[in-house]
Structure 1
Amino acid sequence: MQEGSLDLALTWDGKRIVAATVASNRPQVASLLRRLPAAAVSERVLQLFGICRQAQAAAAALCVRSARGERLTPGALDELALPVALETISEHLCHLLIAWPTLLADPLRPPRVADCGDWRRRLRAASDRRSAAAVAADLARWLGEAELPSPGEESPHIAAAPLLPVLPAAEWERMALLADFALLPTRAGEVAETGALARQVGDAAITRLLAAGRRFAARLLARRLELCWLAAALADPPRLSALLDASPVRAGVGLARVETARGTLLHRLELAGDGVAHYLIVAPTEWNFHPQGAFVREISGFPAASQRAARFAAERLALSLDPCVPCSCRLVDA
């Protein structure tokens, strides 16, 4: 199916981006899951999603099991978490090795397409704990020597969104019932940024970068830190259970949380008999590209002496927040 896109409109006055709006035409995939038999939900989700599809399928499976009142054993969580972890590693590597170098267009640091392709093939082939641990050992060694892309010049006076904490699934139920939560999610009435930075904010180096106003650099470092954590966790699979959990809200209702490369993913399912009566999906993009969210807050007021600089600033910020659909930037005169 069509994945949709984001339209990022920037109001530019010749000196800075004074305002921005985000318009999304992403399809509401959750509506396509209604009236399906519960047993068919996970397979249908795999067919519908191209990006973060393992995370989406894991969230769907957790929703169904928790709605049915099934006990989620540590072994069951491990089984679901392994493909999510491998997918997250692949997404982070693609971001760091291809997406950022492509945007920066530095001839001295071109995109490392072949390296990324080699890693992704190995990750796809890691179908069990033993093969995943072997990949993890090589990844840990590689990360010790790998060079991060540089985000370029930063503006230290950005108006950043708060970072979304990692919350267990049970704590999301009250918020999931709010009107428009799937499209315009907030926590305690506040927009928030989700992703690797939000998960790694407790690291001392991340704290220093944020204090210096270097949020782009902090996001890049957070991805590297997360890759290190994932490499270590692949060698110790029970640690991977931190990536996901579920809550049996009540009989026939389940809610699941999965941590993806882009941030927190939520699924909520209500059953009527053995069919889906209602389904809700909240993807990380809904948080980071909320109409008053991280993208809009940070880009508004950003200095830009030319149209090219304004467009690059927006494209760089959008990439750092990593939407799960293509986005286009256009300028509107103030």
Structure 2
Amino acid sequence: MFEGVVAGARSVGIPVPAARQRVRERRAPREPLHVEARWDGERVTAPAILDSRLPDTQQLVGCTIGEALARIPGLGVTAPRAQTIAAIAAFAAAGAEGAVRSEARDEERTVAAETAQEHLSRLMLDWPVLFGHAPRRQRFAVLHHGLAQIGGGRAAYELGGDLLDLVAVELLGGFFRATREPTALREFVERARQGGTIGEALADLIEIGTSTSEHDAVPLLPPLSAQAWGETLGGLPSPQFCRTPSLHGQAHETGVLARHADSMLVRILLEKGHRIAARLFARVIDLADCASRLRHPLADDMPALLDAAPLGERAGLAWVETARGLVLHAVRLDDGRVAEYAIVGPTQWNFHPEGSFVTEGSGWSAASLEAARLRFAALVLSLDPGRDFEIVLKPVDG
């Protein structure tokens, strides 16, 4: 991972992760996301993402429903299966003829399986490699393949059980074997190191030091129904909202931390100021939730993964919760064709100019350039831009 790529005469860049060999679906390759910050010898300042691009939804204008649905995965969106399901739900909410949703149980299983694939990719490949631990490529490949082929019934139930075993035995074994919750960070670290490579990575991350207190943090995006989103937006999201979304005029964070901030162990990490580690722990919890959804979709004690509502005449809105966070799809139709289409994804929330990446990406000190870029890489990975990324730290006079 840390191959010391030089980006400019005095800049230090890191391709993250350069040697992942990830099992991928057949999609066009994407260039790494370029992430840059300044380094003054003691502190990291002025973080920025320089090449983040919105999906080009103008390609969908004028399309029939079928044409638009065929093009959406090619827009470079992450979680293409979940986003296609959200698109169909938005079309159906707009009253589009031919927009037929699948059974709700099948929708949930599909979204949960795709989310689990993304979580496994981060937990078994990316996070261990970031801290110099061996990735679990073979184990990952077997589980990833099973999730790609997921159907219903017994196969989904058994694969969900395999994922729950993975969490309880291999990822968080030190916590599941204990009879009580840890009361101090040292105890938290000791238990984490009993849980395999992701536990080791979690312990290493905690030992880096605190990141951001709750008082200074960006608020977490609360759960809202599709109807509530429609009322808040007052119509289709504007281009400006798609680029820099906000709720009540304020940037928010979406993703696993927003979904699991109330979990006891995640809460401990947040209260101790270890917000990056809290996101990693929340990802493991979310993986367990995905496993439970594969076994028992639409359980009463689980929040919805998908919702849709009309958005005025011949318009509809849907949202879906993905591994990276909330995705909104909104459409307006004219004579059976797309007149307007908008997508708001997690990157726009979490890497907002006033969002978590910018807020947490500067103002902290590090003992060395290597320590600074490790922590900076951990921050970016915890917020998950959805693609490989390259970090460049430039000196303040560079």
**TM-score with structure 1 setting the length:** 0.91
Change beyond 3 A, Cα 1:241–1:219 = closer
* Structure 1 partner of 2:249: 189
CA shift digits 1:241-284 (9 cap, x unpaired): 71101011123101010000000011110101100000000110
2: CA distance, partners of 1:130 / 1:271? 40
Q: Which moved more, 1:173-182 or 1:136-145?
A: 173-182
After TM superposition, give the deviation of residue 177 of structure 1 in Å. 3.6
1:330 counterpart SS class: strand
* Structure 2 partner of 1:212: 272
Identity %: 35
Task: Give the counterpart letter for 2:67 in structure 1.
Answer: A
Q: 1:52-131 alignment to 2 at 5 Å?
A: 52-68=79-95, 76-106=103-133, 110-131=134-155
Q: Which moved more, 1:218-227 or 1:274-283?
A: 218-227
Is there any run of 5+ residues in structure 2 with no aligned partner, and where?
A: 1-27, 171-194
Change beyond 3 A, Cα 1:297–1:277 = same
Change beyond 3 A, Cα 1:73–1:46 = closer
Answer whether contact 2:211 2:276 (CA < 8 A) is retained: no
Change beyond 3 A, Cα 1:73–1:277 = closer
Change beyond 3 A, Cα 1:55–1:49 = farther
2: CA distance, partners of 1:12 / 1:327? 18
Task: Give the counterpart letter for 1:155 in structure 2.
Answer: T
Task: Give the counterpart letter for 1:43 in structure 2.
Answer: A
Q: 1:4-43 alignment to 2 at 5 Å?
A: 5-43=32-70
After TM superposition, give the deviation of residue 133 of structure 1 in Å. 1.1
Change beyond 3 A, Cα 1:165–1:27 = closer
2:223 counterpart SS class: coil
Is there any run of 5+ residues in structure 1 with no aligned partner, and where?
A: none
2: CA distance, partners of 1:271 / 1:74? 18
1:24 counterpart SS class: coil
Of 346, 350, 370 in structure 2, the residue corresponding to residue 308 of structure 1 is: 370
* Structure 2 partner of 1:284: 346
Of 192, 201, 204 in structure 1, the residue corresponding to residue 261 of structure 2 is: 201
Answer whether contact 1:155 1:302 (CA < 8 A) is retained: no
Task: Give the counterpart letter for 2:322 in structure 1.
Answer: T
CA shift digits 1:188-243 (9 cap, x unpaired): 11111111111011112211110001112211111111122221222222237711
Q: 1:228-267 alignment to 2 at 5 Å?
A: 228-239=288-299, 242-267=304-329
* Structure 2 partner of 1:168: 225
- CA RMSD in angstroms comes to 2.3
Task: Give the counterpart letter for 1:197 in structure 2.
Answer: L
Q: Which has the larger radius of gyration?
A: 2
After TM superposition, give the deviation of residue 48 of structure 1 in Å. 3.6
Change beyond 3 A, Cα 1:179–1:188 = farther
Task: Give the counterpart letter for 1:63 in structure 2.
Answer: A
After TM superposition, give the deviation of residue 50 of structure 1 in Å. 6.3
Answer whether contact 2:38 2:46 (CA < 8 A) is retained: yes
1:134 counterpart SS class: helix
* Structure 2 partner of 1:153: 208
* Structure 2 partner of 1:270: 332
**TM-score with structure 2 setting the length:** 0.77
1:145 counterpart SS class: helix
Q: How many residues align?
A: 331
After TM superposition, give the deviation of residue 306 of structure 1 in Å. 2.6
1: CA distance, partners of 2:317 / 2:392? 37
| 2:389 pairs with 1:332 | no
1: CA distance, partners of 2:128 / 2:105? 34
1: CA distance, partners of 2:227 / 2:392? 40
1: CA distance, partners of 2:209 / 2:257? 16
Q: Which moved more, 1:60-69 or 1:88-97?
A: 60-69
* Structure 2 partner of 1:139: 163
CA shift digits 1:94-119 (9 cap, x unpaired): 1100010111113xxx1101111010
2: CA distance, partners of 1:234 / 1:128? 8
2: CA distance, partners of 1:114 / 1:232? 23
